Structure 1
């Protein structure tokens, strides 16, 4: 059974969340027992291009470490922004 770690994102996911996002993603990628990282968008009401860029940067790092990144819980405008950015081509939706 694969082990996934969750990263619960804040209501406003932008560059202001950079340090915490980096800390959580680093911890997950450095943990050899974790096979996948799930970005929980259930609380996100706002995200910007900086957030999308951070996600892509960490997705490349995760891929290099043979870890999957997934998205769950995106809704409303947040889901539309992710779709416009073609994130479904890069991240698995669960």
Structure 2
């Protein structure tokens, strides 16, 4: 049975959110009961390259821990930025 954790991202997803993002991701990856992690972009209006880099770093760590990461709820400019960064090649998208 798969346990899914959801990381709800802030309106402004940038380096200023680094510590909280790191705390949440580490908690999910360190928890042996969790094997799926969802990045919920439902509230995100802004993200920058630092956010994309943080996502990539944690995706590599999750993969090494045999955990799967997903993106859900991205819309508007946020969805366009994720598409331009080819995140659909790395993360599965949930509807």
Aligned pairs for 1:35-50 (under 5 A) are 35-50=35-50
* Matched position secondary structure for 1:32: coil
- Provide TM-score, normalisation by structure 2: 0.98
- Provide TM-score, normalisation by structure 1: 0.99
How big is each residue's C-alpha offset from its partner over 1:10-35, in whole Å with a ceiling of 9 and x where there is no partner? 00000000000000000000000001
Aligned-pair CA distance for 1:63? 0.2
- How many residue pairs get aligned? The number is 94
Distance 2:84 2:2 in 1: 30
Gaps of 5+ in 2: none
How big is each residue's C-alpha offset from its partner over 1:42-78, in whole Å with a ceiling of 9 and x where there is no partner? 0000000000000000000000000000000000000
Runs of 4+ in 1 over 3 A off after TM superposition: none
Distance 1:13 1:35 in 2: 24
Gaps of 5+ in 1: none
